[in-house]
Amino acid sequence: MSDDKLVGIVLVSHSAEVAASVAELAKGLAGGGTEVPVAAAGGTEGGGLGTSAELIAAAAAAVDRGAGVAVLTDLGSAVLTVKALLAEGDELPAGTRLVDAPFVEGAVAAVVTAAAGADLAAVEAAAAEAYTYRKV
């Protein structure tokens, strides 16, 4: 499957370093196969902690290949910022969804599933299923 048919993934964190690290981890665990379009949107434009509608919108545009964009967030205002962008209707690519999933485990599941060529609904379901992962 070509990259232009893959679901894009945006990882939104209050920290640029956290978002970038989770993106690197998820891509690394997806293996050496198809390169999923993944973008980190962490922190503010000035490099501080927080969330930025502009960074999120730019990240979503960068990963959009026409198959939809799954957005995973860490907490609080990241969720609210993405919801506000979705409500505006023209800030994010068509087919963008906020995915209710744990940030790290959900990101890995989303990227692995997208790499297999799954559609947006399957990527969203795989990420959400990460809530059930047991550690003990």
**CA 45 from centre of chain:** 18
Low-confidence ranges of the chain (pLDDT < 50): 1-2
Q: Phi/psi of residue 76, each to 5°? A: 40, -115
Q: What HEC string does 41-59 produce?
A: EECCCCCCCCCCHHHHHHH
Cα 44 from Cα 15, distance rounded (Å) = 8
Q: What is the pLDDT of residue 33?
A: 54
What is the tens place of the pLDDT at every residue in 70-81? 999 999 999 999
Q: Identify the H or E element spanning 78.
A: helix 77-88
**Ranges assigned E (strand) in 37-104:** 38-42, 69-73, 96-98
